[in-house]
Amino acid sequence: MPAPIPLTLPGVEEYADACTTPDSEDLLDLARLTTAEVDRPHMMVGPVEARFLQFLLTALRPARILEIGTYTGYSALSMAQVLPADAHITTCELNEDFAAIAAKHFAASPHADKITLEVGPALDTIARLSGKFDFILLDADQPHFDHYLEPLTALLSDNGILAADNTLWSGSVLDESDHRPGADGIRRFNRAVAAHPGLVSVLLTVRDGLMLIRRK
Residues at the site binding ligand SAM, with contacts judged by CB under 6 A: 1, 43-45, 69, 71, 74-75, 92-95, 98, 121-122, 139-141
Q: Which is nearer to ligand SAM, 11 or 22 (CB)?
A: 22
Closest approach, Cβ 186 to ligand SAM, in A, equals 13
Residue placing its CB nearer to ligand SAM in the complex, 45 or 206: 45
One DSSP character per residue, the chain reads -PPPPP-SSTTHHHHHHHTSPPPPHHHHHHHHHHHHHSS-GGGS-HHHHHHHHHHHHHHH--SEEEEE--TTSHHHHHHHHTS-TT-EEEEEES-HHHHHHHHHHHHHSTTGGGEEEEES-HHHHHHH--S-EEEEEE-S-GGGGGGGHHHHHHHEEEEEEEEEE-TTGGGGGG-TT---HHHHHHHHHHHHHHH-TTEEEEEE-STT-EEEEEE-
CB of residue 91 to ligand SAM, shortest distance in Å? 8
Please report how close the Cβ of residue 95 comes to ligand SAM at its closest, in angstroms.
Answer: 4
Smallest distance, ligand SAM to C-beta of residue 133, A: 16
CB nearer to ligand SAM: pick between 74 and 213: 74
User: In this complex, which beta carbon is closest to ligand SAM, that of residue 56 or of residue 197?
Assistant: 56
Kindly state the smallest distance separating residue 10's Cβ from ligand SAM, in Å. 24
